[in-house]
Structure 1
Amino acid sequence: MSRLTSRRPVVDLAAVRAAVGAVHDPELGMTLAEAGLVGDITVSRSGHVRVQLRLTTQGCPLESELTAASHRAAVAVASVTTVDVAVATLSARERAELADRVAASSAPLTGGLGAPAPRILAVASGKGGVGKSTVTANLAAALAASGERVGVLDADVWGYSIPQLFGMRRSPVVLGEKMLPVPAHGVALMSIGFFVADDQPVVWRGPMLHKALSQFVTDTAWGALDSLLVDLPPGTGDATLSVLNLLPDATLLVITTPQATARTVATRVARMAAESGRCVTGVVENMSASVCGSCGEHTALFGTGGGRQLADDVGAPLLGRVPLDVELREAGDRGVPVVLATPQSASARELTRIASALPAASRRSLAGRALPLSVVTR
């Protein structure tokens, strides 16, 4: 009597490498294959696969995320039975080569003559406490959820809150001469809050402040963004003016509450924009009403009409009126934008609608602007 033996199908090594290579690294903004982070892959006769990932730094903050994603990709390949993922670190030369590739793939935020630039919305308010950062975070998350490549630059150096709103607290990775934005919920983030302790005050001003903001704009590898939202500090101080000078194509999105006081001081921001040749692309009224968590009744705690009046005063559209509900507050405390945490809440639905209604990118006139010149010698 002859014994029949069955053989397992052979695992396609090229298919495993392609699957793992297609895993996206959210920090680098490219696949593992494009970044050169897939090392040796071996396959046993029993279908066991061993994958080596070669990460940028020892203790890479995304190590567990990339390891899990690579495991899922490899185990999904036909005939693979088990997968082990090992981690190594790039050599100094390989890091330098990767830094060059990242820099080459990162388009400048300022665009240039004929060069593409992302839509840049500078989110401003006349005073603090109107929910400017909350609106910024949720608009960015909603845009990212719709498929856009989105960044948030937290320029509110004294009252930074973007790290808390996105639930992310760690230092950015430095690759070559560029900082990599910290990814969270599909959005690329840069904030002074990633460099200081939560309870540490930032007392910068003048040249030091401008230098830090300049580094956030020029020394960050933002990648090829579709939209960049800039969370400005309230008012019309040095930081606001520095950012607007660094980003000449930025347009302003002004946040106010229904109160007359908030509307009045927000008008000053709009006038500053007009005097500097900037366009106010829209107005958002935040905290338009308090929504009862039990019955859903709306109560206008801060009055009515402030957003509409401001929009009329500055000649910009009123893009929306965001209600204040428990879900919005709880999401901010948890570090997950409400548009992702509870998308069916009243605040999330309105913020998502506003994100879809944001105007397209516009370019300022070149009149009165310094143009980059280069000298060609023959």
Structure 2
Amino acid sequence: MKAVNRAAIEAVLRQYTDPYLNLDLVSSGCVRAIDVNNDQVLVKLEFGYAAGLFKSDLAQMLQMTIEGLAGVRLAKVETRCVITSRKTQVQLHGLANVKNIIAVASCKGGVGKSTTAANLALALDREGACVGILDADIYGPSQGVMFGVPDGTRPKVKDQKWFVPIKSLGIEVMSMAFLAEDSAPMIWRGPMVSSALLQLVSQTAWGDLDYLVIDMPPGTGDIQLTLAQKVPVVGLVIVTTPQDLALRDAKKSMEMFRKVNIPVLGVVENMAVHICSSCGYAEHLFGEGGGEKLATQYSIELLASLPLSIIIREQADSGKPIVAAEPDSQIAMVYQELARHVSARISMQ
């Protein structure tokens, strides 16, 4: 039997296109080693993005394909994910342990931005990354509720200087809601809000995080400018609905962050379609195709399109978002795809 060679193994790897990097495994630089020992083959792959649920199935598929080659009796494919830092030049004291910061934003309120941020963080965690989430919506913080943190919970203080984030559902969570009375409104002017945001970011004792997701408030004001100027954000996810009014506001967010040189990773379209639970009729209550049009106009990716679903709302209100509550559901799988696409976009910068 003719022995297999390295070129034959590389040819197999070139036939598979990574759906998140849009490159074959050789061109993407994922191949770390190809060892051929007579009729035995060992391939080592390393992914620079969060792909914990994806890589094992890929390894099994490649192993079967390689073992189908003439001259191969046994093949083994080892995969691992190594998340590296893509920090910008801007640095802030307190973020030394954070590799990558992702902002989730919208100019308009009520489009599901906070729900997207929470499920994105949970999906990245399920893919094997270490994740934290910062609720930067000073006036209307909601992440504490979404992560089931009981009312009145206060973070511990370390060395009389650092806030210790609350750990919930495997995620490090920090919010202004943990530092103020539950029903007390934040009647603050812009400079006070910006100062509070910087305090939350820089005086939180974040652990060794692969990703810190920042849930931004709606708008393009003081908090957004402070974030852009002071915090090393590596990428932005824009959240919108298909509604024309929401799309107009989403464009404002897009333009603002582009002007301050924060890369826009893509668009998430929420409430894209409503499917009747009784008859299955699909209706586009807020318009159709708006997210795709926005992505096309700005030459970016439509990262995910999610339905108008009562389940998403109920799970978030109950303190256990759908990625944690029903991880094998179809909607949760959309968030997993979102997490892989976002982390892959960051790894390519």
Q: Name the residue aligned to 1:146.
A: 127
Tell me: CA distance 1:273–1:184, structure 2 relative to 1, closer, same or farther (3 Å). Answer: same
Letter in 2 for 1:199: S
Q: Supply the distance in 1 between the matched residues of 2:134 and 2:97 (Cα, whole angstroms).
A: 19
The aligned residue for residue 163 of structure 2 is 179
In structure 2, do the counterparts of structure 1 residues 201 and 363 end up closer, same or farther at CA, with 3 Å as the change threshold?
Answer: farther
Answer with 1 or 2: which has the greater Rg: 1
Give the residue type in structure 2 aligned to 1:175: K
Does structure 2 retain, via aligned residues, the 8 Å contact 1:142–1:355? yes
The answer as to 2:217 corresponding to 1:233 is yes
CA-based RMSD: 2.4
Pair 191,116 (structure 1): closer, same or farther in 2 beyond 3 Å? closer
Is the Cα contact below 8 Å between 1:122 and 1:231 reproduced in 2?
yes
Cα 1:237–1:118 change in 2 (3 A) is same
CA displacement at 1:362 relative to structure 2 = 6.1
Whole-angstrom distance in 1 between the partners of 2:189 and 2:135: 16
Which one of 101, 109, 123 corresponds to residue 128 of structure 1? 109
For 2:261, which of 274, 277, 281 is the aligned residue?
A: 277
Which of 341, 346, 349 is equivalent to 1:361?
346
The answer to whether the 8 A contact 2:101-2:232 is kept is no
SS at match of 2:104: strand
Partner Cα separation in structure 2 for residue 213 and residue 192 of structure 1: 8
How many residues in Structure 1 have an aligned counterpart in Structure 2?
Answer: 257
Deviations 1:170-225 (Å, cap 9, x if unpaired)?
11111112111111101101101112233211122233212211111111111111
1:161 is aligned to 2:142: yes
Q: Which residue of 2 aligns with 1:251?
A: 235
Unpaired runs of 5+ residues, structure 2, are: 1-84
Query: Which of 192, 208, 225 is the matching residue for 2:192?
Result: 208
Deviation at 1:110, TM superposition (A): 6.9
Q: What is the TM-score normalised by the length of structure 1?
A: 0.64
Between 204-213 and 267-276, report the one with greater CA deviation: 204-213
Write the letter of the residue equivalent to 2:118: A
Shift of the 268–219 alpha-carbon distance from structure 1 to 2, 3 Å rule, reads same
TM-score between the two structures when normalised by the length of structure 2 = 0.69
Deviations 1:51-82 (A, max 9, x none): xxxxxxxxxxxxxxxxxxxxxxxxxxxxxxxx
In 2: Cα distance, 1:361 partner to 1:223 partner: 20
Check whether the contact 1:293–1:325 (CA below 8 A) recurs between aligned residues: no
CA offset digits 1:92-135 (Å, max 9, x no partner): xxxxxxxxxxxxxxx9x87879x885221110102000000000
Asked if 2 retains the 8 angstrom alpha-carbon contact of 1:328 and 1:348, the reply is: no
1:148 maps to a residue whose letter is: A
The answer as to whether partners of 1:284 and 1:319 remain within 8 angstroms in 2 is yes
The equivalent position to 1:336 in structure 2, one of 311, 314, 320, is 320
Cα contact 1:110–1:117 (8 A) shared by 2: no
Label 1:335 to 1:111 Cα distance change in 2 as closer, same or farther (>3 A): farther
SS at the partner of 1:126? coil
User: Aligned-pair distance for 1:241?
Assistant: 1.1
Residue 123 of structure 1 contacts residue 136 of structure 1 at CA under 8 Å; is this kept in 2? yes
Measured in 2, the distance between the counterparts of 1:356 and 1:297 equals 30
**Does residue 326 of structure 1 match 2:307?**
no
- Any gaps of 5 or more consecutive residues in structure 1? 1-106, 365-378
- Structure 2 counterparts to residues 44-193 of structure 1, below 5 A: 117-169=98-150, 170-176=153-159, 177-193=161-177
Residue 337 of structure 1 deviates from its aligned partner by 1.0
For residues 362 and 244 of structure 1, what CA distance do their matches in structure 2 show? 20
User: CA–CA distance in 1 between the matches of 2:323 and 2:98?
Assistant: 26
Distance 1:361 1:116, change over 3 A: farther
Which of 1 and 2 has higher RCO (CA within 8 Å, sep 6+)? 2
Deviation at 1:295, TM superposition (A): 4.5
- Aligned residue number for residue 23 of structure 2: none
